[in-house]
Chain A
Amino acid sequence: METTEVMEERLPPADWRPRKASPGADALWLFISIAAVLVLARIWVAPHASAPALQAWATIFIAICVQALPFLVFGVALSAAITSFVPARVWTRVLPRHPAAAVPVAGVCGAVLPGCECASVPVAGGLMAKGVAPSAALTFLLAAPAINPIVMVSTAVAFPRDPGLVAGRFAASLTVAVLAGWLWLRFGRTDLIRIPQGPPPGAGRWDSFRQAMRHDLMHAGGFLVVGGVAAATINVVVPASWVDSVAGIPLVSVLILAVLAVLMSICSEADAFVAASLTQFSPTAKLAFLVVGPMVDLKLIALQSGIFGRRFAVRFIPLTFALAVVVSLAYGKAFL
């Protein structure tokens, strides 16, 4: 398998340096030494790490990671399965011909298909390459990570007493995705977006599944840790009175959590748990956090500029952010 893959790909320049050690044996030794370090740390460090603030921080940080892990792992497995086993042309067939009609259908498709936001950007690129209208593909890009079943389940688990917030996440995210698609259909010019080229041939399916899953886990997991660190720090370090006073100002608190969602870049399958930990903030502010996060964050900005071009990103990202905040505010005003 590996050999054929290698043959299919472009070869490196002749002066490429071979590596000396074998990765398998390296990994084994590394694993043994890390395990030893951890056991020793358990014996010598754990009893001394007793400052209450440090312990509380670590408890909250680990709690967020542990709580989000099953959702992340199973979500990533599903999305890897879909990207590895379902060809892109299936979606071309599902969508109506007329772009204005295709936009809402693409949004609803997002509710059915699990996929991390990191995966949805290239998937949307693939859809465009297959001839799907850009506006519909963009709606899918926004909707898929925001309202897919895994995300909705994890949100319901994180907010067991707030069904309104769970429904709000679905409704507001879908609204934003469809509005953004229609606005792009109406005002977006074709020269603003770079449509990706058709795909080259792929590898074996199981192999591609395994690699897609590992890849997504590494990315999403890394950003989940960033979010966990930020949330634990807000919880432990920032004086409660500050958070209280900020959280008490209606509009400001919404904007702050919206910006925080962009900065934290948490995977949508895990962000509900971080949102739930921000207990001082109003439901509307948490809703804004949940609606903005899957649609605009640091890694998505990078991904979208990379795949669709910078000229696209500087227009589409502010548009999405503004829509997400306004729709969350409106929903919060009406229902929360």
Chain B
Amino acid sequence: MTRAAQNLLLLLLGGAVLWITLGTGEFTNYVKPGLELPLVGSALLLIVLGLAGMRRDWNDDADEHPHGRSVTEAQAQAPAQQERSGAPGVPPAVRAGVEDGPVPAVTGTAPEALTVPGGREQGTHGSGKAEEGEGEEDGGHGHAHGGPRVAWLLCLPVLGIFAIAPPELGAFTADRNSSVTRAVAAPPSIDQALPAGTGPLAMSVAEFVGRSFEAQIGGDPTLEGRTVKLIGFVAPRKQGHWYLTRLQMSCCAADAIAVQVIVLGAAEPKKGAWVEVTGVWKAPPAKESGSGVHYLNATGVTPAAKPAHPYE
């Protein structure tokens, strides 16, 4: 991978992150809203780093140093190659001097370019002794021959962000949620009584499930007889009825687990649709008690807009 490509990659990454934070706000589909500031900061740092690198390369060109470019490449590749053949390394304070750039050879020109003394001929069994081995170069990490070819993979998230632009997780993920994860999702205990009043009480699905769970394991049945209002999306249930679902993430979408309430007494809307359900909690039959099953006797189901922060 050339220096130019590395700089470019830094710019692309920084640009993609700025796009999903300041540009579209899509980042809440993936991570918690609080991460916005660190994301913007690191994106700016990436962009500065890429621009600084580009400026350096540009200046080097302007130097009219007839072989300047190739000289740098050569010397950067040479040590890397030695390193692969088992040469001693150098502390990083030093490596950078050797390194500017093509941390070893990834571009198409790589193989034939490696004719530098101390190259492959030194043999792979490691008596090679070079003062300038590029220490931390993971030239030989098993599968990727000679370098950060692996860095090209950084294009993948950029491509994903722009070309797929995946939405928040939904019914597909809820379907895949297994019994084990549901057991893991034992909600935090909630012991206050509900605020007084008679109208439908807006509540997060997680809170509803938490209170329901408390009641099932012998706590106060705080939900008893109270009409509540929950917002979530529709996920099918194989054993009949349907789930009102909300995904809960503790850190990012990758660890999202579904919090689900079985809705009784209402026809199933379209899978994945966001709905607001009004209804009253129903205690599960004794044999299901405490097993992570929660029922709501629905009195009304209306379509709802997707919340700004789709995860709870």
Contact = CB atoms under 8 A, between A and B. Distances in A.
B63 A53 contact: no
Interface stretch (A55-63, A97-105, A178-186, A328-336): A55-63
Interface stretch (A82-90, A143-151, A168-176, A317-325): A82-90
A110 interface: no
Interface string A94-138: 000000000000000000000000110111011101000000000
Interface in B234-263: 250-255, 257
A329 B97 CA distance: 43
Interface string A50-71: 0011111011111111110110
Chain A contact surface mostly = helix
A24 B70 contact: no
B292 to A, nearest CB: 14
Size bracket of the B interface: 35 or more
Nearest to A59: B166
Interface string B8-50: 1111110101001000000101110001001101100110010
Contact of A55 (B57, B153, B172): B172
B163 interface: yes
A280 B182 CA distance: 10
A218 B75 contact: no
B88 A222 contact: no
Contacts of A194: 88, 126
A61 to B, nearest CB: 6
B149 to A, nearest CB: 8
A229 B98 CA distance: 32
Contacts of A55: 164, 166-167, 172
B280 interface: no
Interface of B: 1-13, 15, 17, 20, 27, 29-31, 35, 38-39, 41-42, 45-46, 49, 52-54, 56-61, 63, 65-75, 78, 83-84, 86-101, 103, 113, 115-117, 125-126, 129, 131-133, 135-143, 148-154, 156-173, 176-181, 184, 250-255, 257
Given A27-B54, A214-B7, A215-B99, 4 more contacts: A19-B73, A74-B45, A126-B92, A302-B142
16 contacts: A2-B59, A6-B75, A66-B27, A70-B35, A127-B91, A158-B250, A159-B251, A160-B250, A197-B129, A200-B98, A201-B94, A221-B151, A232-B254, A277-B252, A302-B140, A305-B86
Interface of A: 2-3, 5-6, 8-13, 15-19, 22-27, 30-31, 34-35, 38-39, 41-42, 45-46, 49, 52-56, 58-67, 69-70, 72-74, 77, 83-84, 86-88, 118-119, 121-123, 125-127, 129, 157-161, 194-197, 199-203, 207-215, 217-219, 221-223, 225-226, 228-229, 231-232, 235-236, 240-241, 243-244, 247-248, 265, 273-274, 276-277, 279-280, 298-299, 301-303, 305-307, 309-310
